[in-house]
Structure 1
Amino acid sequence: MAEAVRYEGRGEVGVILIDRPPVNAIDVAVRRGIQTALDQALADPAVKVVLLACEGRTFLSGADLNELGGAIEAPGYYETFDALEASTKPVVAVLHGTALGGGLECALACHYRAAVADARMGMPEITLGIVPGAGGTQRLPRLIGARPALEMMIAGAPVDAAKAKAMGLIDEIVEGAPLQGGLDYARRLAAQGAPVRRTGERTVDAAGFSEAEVADYLKSQARALKGRTTQEKTIAAIRAAIELPLADGLKREDELSQASLKDRESEALRHVFFAEREVGKIPGLPAMEPAPIRKAAVVGAGTMGGGIAMALANAGVPTALIEVSQEALDRGLKQVRENYEVTVSRGRMTPQELEQRMGLIRGATSQDAAADADVVIEAVFEDMDLKKKVLAGIDAVAPPHAILGSNTSTLSITELAKATRRPEQVVGLHFFSPAHVMRLLEIVRGEQTSSQTLVTSLEVARKLKKTGVVSGDAFGFIGNKMMQDGYFREAEQLLLEGASPEQIDAVMERFGFAMGPNKVNDMAGIDVGTKVREELYKRESRPDPYFVVSDALTAQGKLGQKTGEGVYLYKAGDRTAYPNPATTALIRELAQARQIPQRTIDDAEIEERCILPLINVGAQLLDDGIAYRAKDIDVVWTSGYGFPRHLGGPMFYADTLGLKHVLERVAHYHETLGHYWTPAPLLVRLAGEGGTFTQFDQHRG
């Protein structure tokens, strides 16, 4: 293996060149190499300035994540970065790609910083529940001020080179290749006799960092920080930068960073982070190359179809968007353009990029437009007969190698595939609305779906920058199965027993969901769920009561926000959910008809009864092989259904509760509420063994 770091003397500039593919993570070999190369530069009498640069597509991308929470082999981050800052010759870092977390902390320890124009830099550790632990909380405030440093660390979002220069984070934007631009800048500094300029010797500008000002800022970030605690330790670390000399501040930062790593919040966030990177590795799937995706077609130009076409165009894939009539097609293309115009108005896309993306979407009113597509995705109404008809039509015109995807959210892929002559190439591609924004893509394997089709479908997810999770073929797959037979079902049962929609939603929003189940029902359209259940009843049954409130509202034409009335009332142009006395009366009538006594229900019971079914149904999906691993379920629910990431997903959360406790409570509700609370066999087994879903994943691979 090539050296991770090498030293090159280039006249007056000594170059420390890091080459640690794929992303130049700062592992022990890099740290050791930096120190060795720095010693060589300091010993080289010709060298006046030291340049720290990276090969590959990015500057140092961050810390070695394999070291998180474990022992760090010497030299550590503090030791290495302190050595850079202590250098008696000026050290310049030249940034390109992304300099995040530990990568930026390394640059902060250098005396000068340059970057290419498209470089991005940031401190995203809060997304993992971690306080920066390599000097960032001490050096960044000294460089740009306490308040801007706080905002970078709490928001976690990177800044571009122009903004970084305006903030004082970097000193120069260089042109051309990073190494050459860095060399040119280092030579100018050498010619100027630029002095050593240690960040740690600066004082902190504390403007905007009073307790009241910090509290106001946190209020502005309340939605993003809901249920979180890492920000409090981060603030404490920045206060240490204001009050203490660097050496003491670094010690305080290390204490806070190490404490954050032990918090359940950080454990949960790191669980989700690693799970998202592992769900694409399917146990038992043979190694093979995915088929190329050069062209695509989408049938149906409604909300979902248009969003899927946008996701494909955003990935640079020419896409035919097909509708049955010119009127419907024009309406769909108009909506796509309007969606892009919103992105332009927010500064996230240029007008030229808008036209380029629209140019990749070709409207058509004949399925013949799919004749050259590598993947064809139907996105028509959730109706088995209609989807079969569409798939049969696609099958007749699509090239033999093409994958046929269904954007169904609940219907059997095995059954849908029967309408084609290529069932092995039929797969569920369940996008989430809005499809061009939401990161989750549920990939559903039918009984005959081939390994090649699965591998290529995972490549579709990667190409579209989505998190692809493979599910087996069952009603609702992973996410909707757990929502319909678990979370939403129990929310309706609680309504019948006397809990108000407002109380249920408030409890679940405090738990961490952005919206409670009743508000989500209204937003999605109550009739959508009713249609899903009508299709379900053709193949399976559910014991009553099962969504009797929602289906009664649908029968009355009270479909939620789109009709101005559903579970809640709505005013024109206002999405605020107002209490609906008519719904209260309807629920009372339905409960009386089923002889369900109504009572006062406390918040703790509501939370428990909404969350435990998620865990129990999830365990059943694992037992049945619908989900490969518990982490797959956690990714589905944190990426697509709003389960709070800082709790790790329903299965990880179950581990934190303790599976013995979970089983005891599920068994309790089984006794009091009936059959649908029957404990899943896997839950019974793991609880009896003292096991966890995390251990189950390790066993399953």
Structure 2
Amino acid sequence: MSHTPAPLDQFEHLSTIAPDEILTRATATDHALPDGAGTLALITLDNGQGPRRPATLGSASLLELARAVDEQAARASAGEIQALGITGVEGVFAAGADLALVASLPADAETGRALGRLGHAVYDRIDAFPVPTVALVNGTALGGGLELALACDRRVIAPEVKALGLPEVRLGLIPGWSGVWRAPHLVGPEAAVALLLTNPLDNGRMIGAADAVRLGLMDSLAEGDLLAAGLTAAADAVAGRTVQRTADVSDAAWDRALQAFGAAQSARPGRDLPARRHLEELFAGARTRTRAESAEAEADALADLIGSAEFRRTVYAFLGLVQGRAKRPAGDPGVEQAHTVHRVGVVGAGLMAGQLALLFATALRVPVVMTDLDQERVDRGLAYVRSQLERSVTKGRMKAEDAEAVAGLITGATDVSAHAEAEFVIEAVFEELEVKRTVFRQLEQVVSPTAILATNTSSLSVAGMAEVLEHPERLVGFHFFNPVAQMPLVEIVRVAETTDAAVATAFELARRLRKTAVLVNDAAAFVVNRVLLRMMGEIQNSFDQGTDAHTADHALDPLAFPMTPFTLAAMVGLPVAQHVSESLQAAFGAERFPVSENLQRLIEAKKTAIWAKDVKSPEEAGGATGETIPADTAALIEQGDTPQTADELRVRVEDALAEEIGLLLDEGVVAAPDDVDLCMILGAGWPLHLGGITPYLDDCGASERVRGARFHQA
């Protein structure tokens, strides 16, 4: 139900307090509706930057949009237009609020509240527009951009759109321009839980066009031209033809949704973080509040959040690192030195190899050949690829013809000579140095002189592989994280002989694969696994020395990691974690990287986890549930008599991390602390609200305690 929009003059001061760095213009053009239904005025949002700098909505841009809407409202009232449309340009509808501008606002509550009310004043104008409104969603619509589309009466989306979402809680904010109210009322409160909470906290997961239509977030996919589809939708609205929306908003659905929301909050640490606390209250309130009442509550929440330390640290991590440092990587020789890649080879046909083949074929649309020791393994790898493509089609993430095209690009063979024509060949075989050296000896005999060879090793020496090559200059580390499709980081590893052309090719491939690459020098476990295993090792060590399991596993809960150390170890696999620990111990010694005897006993007994909730089978749980240790697992564990409190263990971990990162930087593994921060955010899920890991270690005092100096100047 619409309400009278607030006048704009009370918000003019915001554009002078923090002017938009780049103004998003809102220009209108007229288009004839089909069947003589009249005229649609189409407002197009364009900041003149194209897709490299998506249109955002700062205070001046919002005022620009509001004035454009007011102008068209006057025309509608005069009978000059019969519908209003809103769209964007070049694959971007609108990428939400301008975070840099929001962060530059004064940290006082009234300024934050005013920004929240401004968004509502603009979107209320669309909600109250005197004739039907249609969003023509041509591309990315995130946060305030998606909320803008939700304010329209109807929403038509281009089928190729892949990035829709309300990610605010991940960024220390809430969907403050009615998204937290509109989403549950539009798609039903149960579906809204994923949009508002679980997707953002799942590494910022977004949804595509088909999923959006299935949920009811969008009304229809455009078949053919988006403008034509939008005009048809507008004509239907003018003629009074309604859209059938079947979302369940019953009391029972709300009861289930609130229960699911609470369970999702409790499933991972950090429920009491300001943004998550406000989101939970606003979501629960959306059940009974009017939209106007919710708007005031949202403005109050923004007043609290915009000045919070959580938001300021998140802005540094997201804008400074994920969107800043990531786009200007240290050590990238430049795209002009990169080789063109028309064909890719993958050595191996196991799970990781299958994921890599699928990624390369889907993103690059070039032929990919997988090879393995026998036809059975090759067939198994190809079957995995096809099953993943079929799953994407079933979930509406890919058209059947696109999936078939990608499947046709991926072939298999049992002879490495199949890679003779590949410009880039990556191995994904067993994590054993001699196995990988054998692979590279064989490859060098068949590939072209200019082919780039890559290893996906997570911990082994790339130099140790290069030394068996006649041309070691062509070898580069190209370390992906699991699962390959979701994890955004690639560690590019160069050794002394590696050419700039090999490194440049790796960087360019990472960009084409839509991954963020960080250059690292050859050192055991590189950055992420080295830092992560030091952290997990301290937890395991404390447990082995006598700290009870619950205290050990939850000592870092105040940091709000995506999962606890014991659960993470079970997810990556105890043997894998132990293997990396052994590699690190061999490289750096047992004092910093002891190998746990308890963990080894569990591995030898084929145990997959410590907690019953993380085990792979009911038999292994032995009837235990949740955070309990199954009896036969507990019987294998031997503990010392020097337990620690949670606070003592947290300080121990912080100091160990400060030491390890300091040593890593002294060794020149990466160029700067910012690179460690970026790696840990994208490769290990370091929480954005903490900023980077090195600023956190400065703030908690660990860098001063251990190194006598901060990583960053105060």
Q: Smaller-chain TM-score range?
A: 0.7 to 0.9
1:179 alignment partner in structure 2: 227
In 2, are the aligned partners of 1:130 and 1:261 still within 8 Å (CA)?
yes
**In 2, Cα distance between equivalents of 1:340 and 1:184:** 33
- Whichever residue aligns with residue 92 of structure 1, its letter is V
- Give the SS at the match of 1:607: helix
**In 2, Cα distance between equivalents of 1:38 and 1:292:** 47
In 2, are the aligned partners of 1:9 and 1:41 still within 8 Å (CA)?
no
CA displacement, residues 66-103 of structure 1 (integer Å, 9 cap, x when unaligned): 22333399995344334434544544332232332212
- Whichever residue aligns with residue 620 of structure 1, its letter is L
- Whichever residue aligns with residue 614 of structure 1, its letter is L
**In 2, Cα distance between equivalents of 1:243 and 1:187:** 33
**In 2, Cα distance between equivalents of 1:530 and 1:54:** 50
**In 2, Cα distance between equivalents of 1:247 and 1:296:** 55
2:104 is equivalent to residue 60 of structure 1:
no
2:322 alignment partner in structure 1: 276
Residues 445 and 28 (structure 1), Cα distance of their counterparts in 2 relative to 1, 3 Å cut: farther
**In 2, Cα distance between equivalents of 1:530 and 1:163:** 39
2:651 pairs with one of 605, 608, 625 = 608
In 2, are the aligned partners of 1:60 and 1:98 still within 8 Å (CA)?
yes
1:640 alignment partner in structure 2: 683
1:367 pairs with one of 416, 424, 427 = 416
Shift of 1:428: 0.9
CA displacement, residues 670-701 of structure 1 (integer Å, 9 cap, x when unaligned): xxxxxxxxx34xxx222xxxxx64x59xxxxx
1:99 alignment partner in structure 2: 141
1:34 alignment partner in structure 2: 65
**In 1, Cα distance between equivalents of 2:593 and 2:286:** 59
1:400 alignment partner in structure 2: 449
- Give the SS at the match of 2:650: helix
CA displacement, residues 652-686 of structure 1 (integer Å, 9 cap, x when unaligned): 4324xx25x2246xx4xxxxxxxxxxx34xxx222
For these two proteins, the number of residue pairs brought into alignment is 651
**In 2, Cα distance between equivalents of 1:600 and 1:562:** 21
Residues 502 and 186 (structure 1), Cα distance of their counterparts in 2 relative to 1, 3 Å cut: closer
- Give the SS at the match of 1:218: helix
**In 2, Cα distance between equivalents of 1:302 and 1:145:** 40
2:85 is equivalent to residue 51 of structure 1:
yes
2:319 is equivalent to residue 295 of structure 1:
no
- Give the SS at the match of 1:25: coil
- Give the SS at the match of 1:69: helix
Give runs of aligned pairs for residues 257-656 of structure 1, distance below 5 A: 257-274=302-319, 275-277=321-323, 278-283=325-330, 285-289=332-336, 290-315=338-363, 316-337=365-386, 355-484=404-533, 486-501=534-549, 503-508=551-556, 512-513=560-561, 516-518=564-566, 520-521=568-569, 524=572, 526-528=574-576, 532=580, 541-543=589-591, 546-549=594-597, 553=601, 557-558=604-605, 560-561=607-608, 572=619, 578-579=629-630, 587=638, 598-648=641-691, 650-655=693-698
In 1, are the aligned partners of 2:155 and 2:220 still within 8 Å (CA)?
yes
Shift of 1:318: 1.9
Residues 549 and 511 (structure 1), Cα distance of their counterparts in 2 relative to 1, 3 Å cut: farther
Residues 569 and 398 (structure 1), Cα distance of their counterparts in 2 relative to 1, 3 Å cut: closer
2:251 alignment partner in structure 1: 207
1:6 pairs with one of 16, 19, 27 = 27
Shift of 1:379: 2.1
Residues 189 and 516 (structure 1), Cα distance of their counterparts in 2 relative to 1, 3 Å cut: closer
2:161 is equivalent to residue 124 of structure 1:
no
Residues 249 and 221 (structure 1), Cα distance of their counterparts in 2 relative to 1, 3 Å cut: closer
Q: Unpaired segments of 5 or more residues in structure 2?
A: 1-21, 33-38, 106-110, 200-204
1:689 alignment partner in structure 2: none
In 2, are the aligned partners of 1:492 and 1:547 still within 8 Å (CA)?
no
**In 2, Cα distance between equivalents of 1:144 and 1:568:** 35
- Whichever residue aligns with residue 6 of structure 1, its letter is T
In 1, are the aligned partners of 2:93 and 2:145 still within 8 Å (CA)?
yes
In 2, are the aligned partners of 1:378 and 1:387 still within 8 Å (CA)?
yes
2:15 alignment partner in structure 1: none
Residues 425 and 103 (structure 1), Cα distance of their counterparts in 2 relative to 1, 3 Å cut: same
In 2, are the aligned partners of 1:85 and 1:110 still within 8 Å (CA)?
yes
- Whichever residue aligns with residue 650 of structure 2, its letter is E
Residues 90 and 609 (structure 1), Cα distance of their counterparts in 2 relative to 1, 3 Å cut: same
**In 2, Cα distance between equivalents of 1:501 and 1:609:** 16
2:108 alignment partner in structure 1: none
- Give the SS at the match of 2:526: coil
1:18 pairs with one of 45, 48, 66 = 45
Shift of 1:470: 2.3
Shift of 1:351: 6.9
- Give the SS at the match of 1:553: helix
- Give the SS at the match of 2:670: coil
1:81 pairs with one of 120, 123, 138 = 123
Shift of 1:28: 5.4
In 1, are the aligned partners of 2:87 and 2:136 still within 8 Å (CA)?
yes
- Whichever residue aligns with residue 9 of structure 1, its letter is D
2:316 is equivalent to residue 251 of structure 1:
no
- Whichever residue aligns with residue 538 of structure 2, its letter is E
- Whichever residue aligns with residue 65 of structure 1, its letter is L
- Give the SS at the match of 2:103: coil
Shift of 1:296: 0.9
Shift of 1:161: 6.0
- Give the SS at the match of 1:685: coil
- Give the SS at the match of 1:617: helix
In 1, are the aligned partners of 2:460 and 2:524 still within 8 Å (CA)?
yes
Higher relative contact order (CA 8 A, sep 6+): 2
**In 1, Cα distance between equivalents of 2:684 and 2:23:** 44
Shift of 1:472: 2.0
**In 1, Cα distance between equivalents of 2:384 and 2:223:** 40
1:201 alignment partner in structure 2: none
In 1, are the aligned partners of 2:607 and 2:620 still within 8 Å (CA)?
no
CA displacement, residues 188-230 of structure 1 (integer Å, 9 cap, x when unaligned): 555x4899x9xxxxxx9773586x6554122342466532343
CA displacement, residues 158-205 of structure 1 (integer Å, 9 cap, x when unaligned): 666677668765566554322233234435555x4899x9xxxxxx97
In 1, are the aligned partners of 2:525 and 2:580 still within 8 Å (CA)?
no
Shift of 1:444: 1.4
- Give the SS at the match of 1:132: coil
In 1, are the aligned partners of 2:329 and 2:517 still within 8 Å (CA)?
no
- Whichever residue aligns with residue 234 of structure 1, its letter is L
Shift of 1:33: 4.0
In 2, are the aligned partners of 1:371 and 1:399 still within 8 Å (CA)?
yes
In 1, are the aligned partners of 2:40 and 2:81 still within 8 Å (CA)?
yes
- Give the SS at the match of 2:482: coil
**In 2, Cα distance between equivalents of 1:85 and 1:134:** 12
In 2, are the aligned partners of 1:18 and 1:53 still within 8 Å (CA)?
yes
In 1, are the aligned partners of 2:493 and 2:522 still within 8 Å (CA)?
yes
Residues 361 and 627 (structure 1), Cα distance of their counterparts in 2 relative to 1, 3 Å cut: same
CA displacement, residues 361-395 of structure 1 (integer Å, 9 cap, x when unaligned): 22222221111112111223333333233223323
In 2, are the aligned partners of 1:300 and 1:321 still within 8 Å (CA)?
yes
Shift of 1:104: 2.4
- Whichever residue aligns with residue 94 of structure 1, its letter is L
Q: Unpaired segments of 5 or more residues in structure 1?
A: 198-203, 592-597, 668-678, 687-691, 697-701
In 2, are the aligned partners of 1:16 and 1:52 still within 8 Å (CA)?
yes
2:216 is equivalent to residue 216 of structure 1:
no
- Whichever residue aligns with residue 123 of structure 2, its letter is F
**In 2, Cα distance between equivalents of 1:490 and 1:548:** 10
Shift of 1:413: 2.2
CA displacement, residues 535-593 of structure 1 (integer Å, 9 cap, x when unaligned): 66776644498215168639x9445439999x9997647697844678767645xx6xx
